[in-house]
Structure 1
Amino acid sequence: MIEVKNLTISYGGNSIAVKDINFLTEPGTILSIIGPNGSGKSSLIKGILGLVQPTSGYIEFIEKKQDPHTIGYMPQTPRFPANIKVKELISFFKKLEPVEEESFQKLFSTLELNNHMDKKIGSLSGGTKQKISILQCFSSKKDLYVIDEPTASLDPYISHLLKSLLIEKKKEGSLVIFSTHILAELQELADRFLLLSEGSILIDDSPGNFLRKNNKTDLDQALMNFWNEEYKTKP
């Protein structure tokens, strides 16, 4: 469980990326964060990952167990050392944390990485780098998975695999947080979503409930209507 309380993140002066945000998450949930560029999505994700410190407020991991929480992170653009080979990077992954070898090998095989083992990371396509990022993120069970724009450069087959992994991790009791610009993806996967704008939360709801309240079946249309109404009220 994560509690975000009165969270503000600024980068000096009047540059406020996140403004007094509050929400509480539950394990076994898929939470999506959406919003236009500059809405505060990236800063909120960085705050959850501990990559930036709050200016005020806090992000607290509330655990039912005494063990420290574990986080799997899959960025939109993987950044691995260009001059090492795939097999060297995978060996490094295994040294970082214990993996369940059977599950690891199954995922490795599904991602079809065997033919790339002797290639240097810098020679790989963006899609193959994302496959390695999937392997790194899901190579062991985590309490929290943070996924940024998960299907941006994936082919349909691997995109489907990743979505299946997110649902599987939810069923295992992990919390999954992902940002996306693809509303069909949100509607397919998310139990709940946050719409951010100018650093604040405009919507905190489930996709189904939001559609019912707006008497729509298409999330894209429902959000567009909401957005138009929201900005009609602005001076």
Structure 2
Amino acid sequence: MLSLTNINKKYGSHEVLNFSDWTVGNGIYWLKGGNGTGKSTLFRMISGQIPFKGEVQLNGIQLRKESVKFRSKISFAEAEPQYPLFITGKELIDFYTDTRRAERKQAEELAAYFEMAPFLDHNIGSYSSGMLKKLSLICAFVGNADLYILDEPLITIDVRSADKLYELIKAKASQGKSFLLSSHQEVSNDQLHLDQVFQIVNKQIIRL
């Protein structure tokens, strides 16, 4: 279970989020909203990347009190990932694999699954936007997180890759893993069973 309480986030004098509580259990959740509503800010807060006021807790582990343990339970893929352009895709995946103490075989299977294996020896600077997104998804699924946070995972990837992503999410969810997704594109329940849809409106998270 993910629980956020007494949340307030400002950039200078600009307040982005302000709500008293938000709790979600195991499942797949979609967070809707246009640019500038605070979706990416919320995801970065939950993943422990930016400071904020309030408390975040996952399965009894508090972000502020046990930050290392908390972060080990979460995997976050940004909407527009920015990686060093001079390293190869393999070097990046190896970094994630080592950091998360994952098996090399898992990373190799993910690369093959997203049809990226032939390009992993190329520098990231040579990747198209679609290849870059698939690389970020491979890195996100390396390891064994409890909660996967995918910010705009469908942008720039083709229909075939999107279908593969849906299948991977469903497989992980069947293992008890949870997902927070954001997307400008509609996510149909025919493609992916959503346990709940939320939207950020006036700095608050509302249930749709």
Alignment TM-score > 0.5, same fold? yes
- Give 1 or 2: higher helix fraction: 1
| 1:19 equivalent in alignment to 2:23 | no
Superposition deviation, residue 188 in structure 1? 4.1
Superposition deviation, residue 37 in structure 1? 2.2
Residues 177 and 81 of structure 1, relative CA distance in 2, 3 Å threshold = same
| 1:68 equivalent in alignment to 2:69 | yes
Superposition deviation, residue 183 in structure 1? 2.0
Residue 52 of structure 2, aligned match among 25, 42, 54: 54
Of 112-121 and 180-189, the range deviating more from structure 2: 180-189
Partner of 1:198: 202
Superposition deviation, residue 113 in structure 1? 1.9
Residue-by-residue CA offset, 1:123-178 (whole Å, 9 max, x unaligned) = 11111111211111111211110000011010111111111111222111112101
Tell me, in whole angstroms, the C-alpha distance in 2 between the residues paired with 1:192 and 1:98. Answer: 32
Residue 83 of structure 1, aligned match among 67, 83, 86: 86
| 1:180 equivalent in alignment to 2:183 | yes
Partner of 1:6: 6
Larger Rg: 1
Residue 125 of structure 1, aligned match among 125, 128, 141: 128
Residue-by-residue CA offset, 1:179-235 (whole Å, 9 max, x unaligned) = 11112347743211111122112x314xxxxxxxxxxxxxxxxxxxxxxxxxxxxxx
Q: Judge conservation of contact 1:40–1:197 (CA < 8 Å) in 2.
A: no
Q: Judge conservation of contact 1:32–1:186 (CA < 8 Å) in 2.
A: no
Q: Judge conservation of contact 1:121–1:129 (CA < 8 Å) in 2.
A: yes
- Whichever residue aligns with residue 197 of structure 1, its letter is V
Any unmatched runs of 5+ in structure 1? Answer: 206-235
Tell me, in whole angstroms, the C-alpha distance in 1 between the residues paired with 2:190 and 2:115. Answer: 28
Residues 92 and 103 of structure 1, relative CA distance in 2, 3 Å threshold = closer
Superposition deviation, residue 101 in structure 1? 3.9
**Paired residue total:** 200
Aligned to 2:187, the other structure's residue is in SS state: helix
Q: Judge conservation of contact 1:169–1:176 (CA < 8 Å) in 2.
A: no
Q: Judge conservation of contact 1:36–1:197 (CA < 8 Å) in 2.
A: no
Aligned to 2:83, the other structure's residue is in SS state: coil
- Give 1 or 2: higher strand fraction: 2
Residue 37 of structure 1, aligned match among 35, 38, 56: 35
Alignment of 1:210-221 (within 5 A): none
Aligned to 1:184, the other structure's residue is in SS state: coil
Partner of 1:221: none
**What percent of counterpart residues are identical?**
26
Superposition deviation, residue 4 in structure 1? 1.1
Residues 196 and 103 of structure 1, relative CA distance in 2, 3 Å threshold = same
Tell me, in whole angstroms, the C-alpha distance in 2 between the residues paired with 1:39 and 1:91. Answer: 34
- Whichever residue aligns with residue 36 of structure 1, its letter is G
Tell me, in whole angstroms, the C-alpha distance in 2 between the residues paired with 1:137 and 1:61. Answer: 18
- Whichever residue aligns with residue 59 of structure 1, its letter is V
